[in-house]
Amino acid sequence: MERIYIFKRFERFWHWTQALLIITMMITGFEIHGTYSNLGFETAVEVHTIAAWALITLWVFAIFWHFTTGEWKQYIPTMDKVEAMFRYYLTGIFTHAEHPFRQTTLHKHNPLQRLAYLFVKLLINPLIWASGFLYLFYTSWESWGLGWLNLEWIATIHVIAAFMMLIFFIAHIYLATTGHKPMSHIKAMITGWEEID
């Protein structure tokens, strides 16, 4: 068995902190949305807001990190082997077929991951961030010249983005178990070292 060092220390810190914050925000967010009662509306709003600022701070560092290390290149989309990836998840995985993608330090994400993460970073995150920011400061809209905005639209966009995040989250957690062994990817995300075939 071979092990390669895939995830550097900052990347792991970023991933797990982000995971914690996003889970927190989903739990509190759907309470603010009125889906259930848990912490109480006031606490939910407070926690959600604090987590939002923490996440934004984290993103600032993460964006800086991506550009200074050149790691952003990991997310350049490719359609190469995407079909093979789908086929692998639909059938190959059950028959011990060979994984169509081989991880290296320079290509740590498979083509499906690349697309999914790019989608998260370029669509879900900005959508959630922008709508959340406007939601938080809706009393300032008029002074910003945005008086034509409507809280219902903004809240709805925020909720749609949240659903997208929830769906990504479910798929992401499951696919994390599809490595060499069920825990391979997860261990890699903790230690940095990935077991590969």
The answer to whether 195 and 188 have CB atoms below 8 angstroms apart is: yes
Q: Which is nearer to other proteins, 63 or 123 (CB)?
A: 123
Task: Name the token pair of 99.
Answer: 């994984």
Residue 156 as a binder of other proteins (CB under 8 A): the answer is: yes
Site for other proteins in 66-125 (CB under 8 A): 89, 93-94
Among 20, 40, 123, 190, which residue sits at the site for other proteins (rule: CB under 8 A)?
A: 40
Among 50, 84, 127, 159, which residue sits at the site for other proteins (rule: CB under 8 A)?
A: 159
Q: Which is nearer to other proteins, 65 or 138 (CB)?
A: 138
- Cα 2-81-89 angle, rounded to 5 deg: 75
Task: Name the token pair of 55.
Answer: 């996440």
Question: Which one of 8-16, 40-48, 99-107, 189-197 is the stretch in contact with other proteins (CB under 8 A)?
Answer: 40-48
DSSP one-letter code for 105:
S
Distance, CA of 14 to CA of 43 (rounded, Å):
25
Residue 174 as a binder of other proteins (CB under 8 A): the answer is: yes
Q: Which residue has the tokens 């509306």?
A: 41
CA dihedral 15, 26, 175, 190 (to 10 degrees): 30
> Rule CB under 8 A: which residues touch other proteins?
31-35, 37, 40-42, 45, 89, 93-94, 138-139, 150-152, 155-156, 159-160, 162-163, 166-167, 170-171, 174, 177
